[in-house]
Structure formats: structure tokens, C-alpha cells
Amino acid sequence: MMATVLQTDFAWPDTSIERGIIEAASHRLVCGPSTPLSAKEIEGLVARHDPQAIMTCWAQVSRAAIELPGDLRIIQRLGVGLDNIVVPAATARGAWVANVPDYCVHEVSDHAIALLLDWARGTVRFDRDVKHGNWNPAAAQLRRVSDLTVGIIGYGPIGRSTAAKASAFGCQVLINRASGGAVDIGMSCDLPTLLGQSDVVIIHAPLTQSTAHLLNRETIPAMKPGAYLINVSRGPLVENNALIAALESGHLSGAGLDVVEGEPCPPRALIDRPDVIVTPHVAFSSEASLVELRRRSAEEVVRVLAGEPPRHPCNLPEKTA
């Protein structure tokens, strides 16, 4: 039977890939606008279309949106993180939640290393200086990358990829993972040890209730003086005011942020600083990664609508437990 799939939003020019796969399986795709609507507006779309599947990129899928459809079978995240989906509500009503956990491993880890290399070698800062007419190589205070200790918070596929790349540059690598235990690249340690010994701290942790403001007014001052903070995971993992205070005091030498709490309108007091490099939540993006993400997300939805379990489930619906 034909099912309705609601795609709430998208971060690419069109939905042709998703539509092609879903309509080839004799289902109907309806889409919200590319820019995410509010949670209330998403609830209105759900009430209007009564979908059997919801695909979401950035839009918030609230408890009310999950409880509205008559026969919701899957909420598919067009991405990795699940912080915009009320997963317990989906579980309680018997719907799968799935993601694509490994589509952008290379891209995000590359982005983290790019931010690290920029801090060590000053590429963005010197480019800005030269374009403003200031040719002053004597001002260089650069770092040998192989002398750095790099601390990575989170050791999923992306964290492991970043660890391998940092290790290839000759860096000493420290790992803090939520589950604890041994790691196959670098050395596992607790968070205070990692913060106190790392020249560069890279965040690859998911955003959950327990990790919100993981880097805050208590933990940021515990970082090594002069260290550099990189966040390519989720903005709210870092408390903005605590980071600003550490930069203003000189305790941190800078930050490289692909994600910022408050995006897409993060505080100017943070992003306007010359010691902060900001990119607009694009670490996941490449032509190859987006094609893979869109294709695999649509295929997962079609799979569940055909009565099969998803390949990358993030919950166990109560009715199937």
C-alpha cells in the first residue's frame, strides 16, 4: 500500500534523490521548506498529511508531532545526531528512530584536522593580515604539529577517524569515551586528565542531557593554558559565556567552531573574535557525503515501510520489544 512520507526540511538544493527512491517504491513524498519550520509548524504539517514516515534534517520533531499520526512507523534522521527528535515518544508509540551514523566520518574528521592545522600554522589569520596590507612574517608564532597533544572527547567512528589522522601527523592522542575502556589509537583517560594535558581539545560527543554544556565554567578553566578548543559536534556542548571568558582572559588561545550554541544566529561576542574560526555547520558536507546521506535515508524509510527493521536503529519500539 502507498504510504505518505513527510520530509520536514532539507539542507541541499532539492529533494530529487529522496523523491526518486520513495516514489519508485510507490510511496508519496511531501516536503516542508528547506529552512526548518518551528516545532508547532511541523506539528501542523504532520496533522495535515498523517504520514507513516517522517524524515527530518534540522527541524524539531516534538512529542506532539510523534503522537499525531495514525500509523507512524519510522522517524528517519537525515544525519547522525538525535537531539531534534523526542526518541522516547517514538519508542512508546511503537515507531522506529533511525539515522545514518557513518555517512560523513571522513568529512567531519577532515574538518576537525583542518581547524587544528589552521591554529598550528595560522593560515586564516595570515591570509586576513596580508589582504589588509600587512606583510609581517616576523609576527609568526607557529607550532610544530607533531609536538602537539590532541585530546578527543568521544570515540565513535568520527572520533576514531580523527584520532587516526592526528596520530598520522605525529601527535600524541588522548581519548575520553563515555563507555570508558581501552582504545586502539592513542591512550584512554578521564576527562580531567585529557583537559589538563591536551594542547588541542576536539569534541566528537553527541548532545544529550548529560553532555549539554560539557565544556563550561568549571571544565574550560581545567584545560591546559593556551590550549585550543574545536567543536564539530553540537553547539550546546560548549557554554558560550564560559568560552568567551576563557578567551578574554587568555586562558585559551582560540577556538575552531563548526557548531555554536544559538546557531544560526550565534552570539557576535564570540564569533566576531579574531581568535575564533567559525564555519556554518558544514563539517558533514561534501558532494559524496550528501548523496550517500540522502540515498541511505530514503532507502531506510522504504525498508521499514516494507515491514523490515531499519539497518541503523536508534531505539527498540515497545510494540516490537
Catalytic residue numbers?
234, 263, 281
How is 227-259 classified by DSSP, letter by letter? EEEEE-S-GGGB-HHHHHHHHHHTSEEEEEES-
Using CA atoms, how far apart are residues 209 and 246, in angstroms rounded to an integer?
24
CA dihedral (10, 255, 115, 156) in degrees, to 10, reads -70
Provide CB contacts within 8 A for 68, sequence distance 6+: 43, 46, 47, 50
Using CA atoms, how far apart are residues 320 and 64, in angstroms rounded to an integer?
22
Provide CB contacts within 8 A for 259, sequence distance 6+: 231, 232, 233, 234, 235, 281, 283
Cell of 63: 512529542
HSE-up of 182 (CA within 13 Å, CB side)?
1
Using CA atoms, how far apart are residues 2 and 196, in angstroms rounded to an integer?
57
Which DSSP helix (H) or strand (E) runs through 111?
Answer: helix 105-121
Residue 114, classed as helix, strand or coil, is helix
Helix axes 123-131, 105-121, angle to 10 degrees: 60
Cis, peptide link before residue 206, omega less than 30° from 0: no
Would you give the DSSP letter of residue 85? B
Using CA atoms, how far apart are residues 277 and 177, in angstroms rounded to an integer?
26
